[in-house]
Amino acid sequence: MEFQHKNMSLHSTNDTHCSSPLSGKFKRLASTFGAELDFNQLDGNERQHLLDNIADYLPEHKVFVIRNADLSRSEIHQLGHSMGKPLKYAFSNGVEGFPELIEIRRTPTQVTALSTMWHSDSTYLPAPPDVTVLYGVEIPPFGGTTLFADTAAAFDDLSPTMRDLLRKLRVVQRSDVHANNERLAHLSKPATSEVALSAVHSAIKESDGVEAIYVSQEHSAYFEGMSREESKPLLDFLLRHIVADKYRLEITWQPNTLVVSDNRKTQHRAIDNYYGHSRTLLRLIVQLGKREAATVESDSLLALAA
């Protein structure tokens, strides 16, 4: 059978914690964050509920993995609209028909992979994305996993004095702290910027009543009012602290795996250990907020036979 979603305007309920029809179907991935579901183990109503409310699961889980999602590019784009506003990535013009949806690829002959440094996506923008959506397309026979770190749990474990200090600091986030032109070689329709992108944000990000460290290896240049040299000892401490084993989880990719992560409370990095093989992911970054309807060709968000 197929479940119908003809108006394409996804709605949200705010009672997922107390009355979720998916209770007991989550596989926990780490002690502080992460959950996994297999679409093949859900009936039509459960699939519908999950897609209608996927953003509402993020405050609890921070990273959400859905196996066997079997989504088209159109459906991934629509899923972004169901959560809020998809954003265009500054360094790519997207894939055909969907400028916000980018393809991240590594060919067998490319020496390096993209995004192997810890980061939250696009923090060099004045209004960075709240959510990152990743989707597995072509997966190598081994390696190529993605690590995630729980920056909210990492903040909670700091001393009260350090937490108070960080709340007072602002950090300069730049697109060129470590990046070079190698980035463009991995992107669909690469786009160049004549100047580096830069924004200043609080070192601690608050969302959903939770505080998290908003400092990353890839994009954080220095603290506002300090030099790079003055900032480096504290930056180095935070970067080591965030990625301790107890705050991490690792996701092994499979084709049709969908990963939705909270860009405000987590960081991630790719593992580069599959040289000689291809790896392709689709990525969409989203600002949460007003949920929009998107026009797609199909009558339903997912036409799945059961």
CATH number at residue 271: 3.60.130.10
3-state secondary structure of 203: coil
Residue 35: both structure tokens together: 């959950």
Is residue 155 in some structural domain? yes
Backbone angles phi, psi at 296, to 5 degrees: -130, 165
Count of domains in the chain? 1
Report whether 43 contacts 1 (CB < 8 A): no
The model's pLDDT over 291-303, given as tens digits with 9 standing for 90+, comes to 554 333 333 333 3
List the end-to-end C-alpha distance of the chain, in Å, as a whole number: 5
- Order of strands, edge to edge, in the sheet holding 170-174? 198-202, 170-174, 220-223
Is residue 257 in some structural domain? yes
Is residue 1 in some structural domain? no
Is residue 201 in some structural domain? yes
Running DSSP on this structure, what letter comes out for residue 99?
A: T
Is residue 4 in some structural domain? no
Is residue 306 in some structural domain? no
Is residue 299 in some structural domain? no
Quote the domain boundaries for residue 238.
16-288
d(CA 199, CA 121): 13
Is residue 301 in some structural domain? no
d(CA 264, CA 96): 29
For residue 25, what pLDDT is reported?
A: 86
For residue 48, what pLDDT is reported?
A: 84
Running DSSP on this structure, what letter comes out for residue 26?
A: P
d(CA 227, CA 200): 14
Residues linked to residue 276 through DSSP beta bridges, in sequence order = none
Q: What is the number of helices (H) and of strands (E) in the chain?
A: 7, 16
Per-residue pLDDT of the chain (306 residues; tens, 9 = 90+): 232 332 233 333 344 444 577 878 899 999 999 999 999 999 988 988 888 889 999 999 999 999 999 999 999 999 999 999 999 999 899 999 999 999 999 999 988 887 789 999 999 999 999 999 999 999 999 999 999 999 999 999 999 999 999 999 999 999 988 655 455 555 555 566 667 899 999 999 999 999 999 999 999 999 999 999 999 999 999 999 999 999 999 999 999 999 999 999 999 999 999 999 999 999 999 999 865 543 333 333 333 333
d(CA 2, CA 283): 27
> What length is written for the chain?
306
